[in-house]
Amino acid sequence: MITQNIVGQPSPGAPNALLNSRSGQLGDAIVSQLLGSGKNAVITKVAVGNVVAASAAGTAAFGLYFGTTATITQATTTTPWNMATQLQSGSVVTGYRNIVISGSSAASNVIPIGSYYWATAAGAAIVSPSIVEFDGSLIIPPGSFAALGGSAALTSATWIGSLQWEEVPV
């Protein structure tokens, strides 16, 4: 039997057209399991910080929510920054910001990462550690999500946060 392969990405053909199979430089067969991006997002670090204190007393807990997801209907996306190149390009991850995921059954898992307490009468604030090193212990596969979120929206409080990850082949 003779097998004829091509090296590199095949050109799209018409429906029902015969295509050559794909191979690597050494004749190895290249196959795809059609898993979306083909990359896992391996979470390395999560950070959250307070910018403006709350104007009323209250508490909030912050966590990294994750799970498999139904289609996200939020139309506004943001392109993640590549920490190696400092450019907004090269990532297969779709970024969203300032969206509400409350009540989502998809967000069934959470890892607590910090808390905040503000007592306006006493002028006191307690903020737990705001940077958590995951060191790759959380892997988000294609078709899943990770979200940095808070348990409450305190009056007038403003927060910043970041997720850092490495994209590795599935």
Structure confidence by residue, pLDDT tens digits, 10-38: 555 555 555 556 555 655 555 444 476 78
**Pair type for strands 58-68 and 109-119:** antiparallel
Provide the percentage of residues in the chain whose pLDDT is more than 70.
64
Count other C-beta atoms under 10 Å from residue 100's C-beta: 9
pLDDT above 70: residue 141: yes
Average pLDDT on 87-102 reads: 76
Say what the pLDDT of residue 161 is: 85
The pLDDT confidence band at residue 156, using thresholds 50, 70 and 90, is confident
**Ramachandran class of 123: left when φ > 0, alpha when ψ lies in -120 to 50, beta otherwise:** left
pLDDT above 70: residue 114: yes
The pLDDT confidence band at residue 45, using thresholds 50, 70 and 90, is very high
Average pLDDT on 123-131 reads: 66
Residue 168 CA to chain centroid, in angstroms?
13
Say what the pLDDT of residue 125 is: 64
Which residues is 162 bridged to in the sheet?
47
Say what the pLDDT of residue 74 is: 66
Q: What's the whole-number average pLDDT of the chain?
A: 74
**Ramachandran class of 111: left when φ > 0, alpha when ψ lies in -120 to 50, beta otherwise:** beta
Q: What is the largest CA-CA distance in the chain?
A: 83
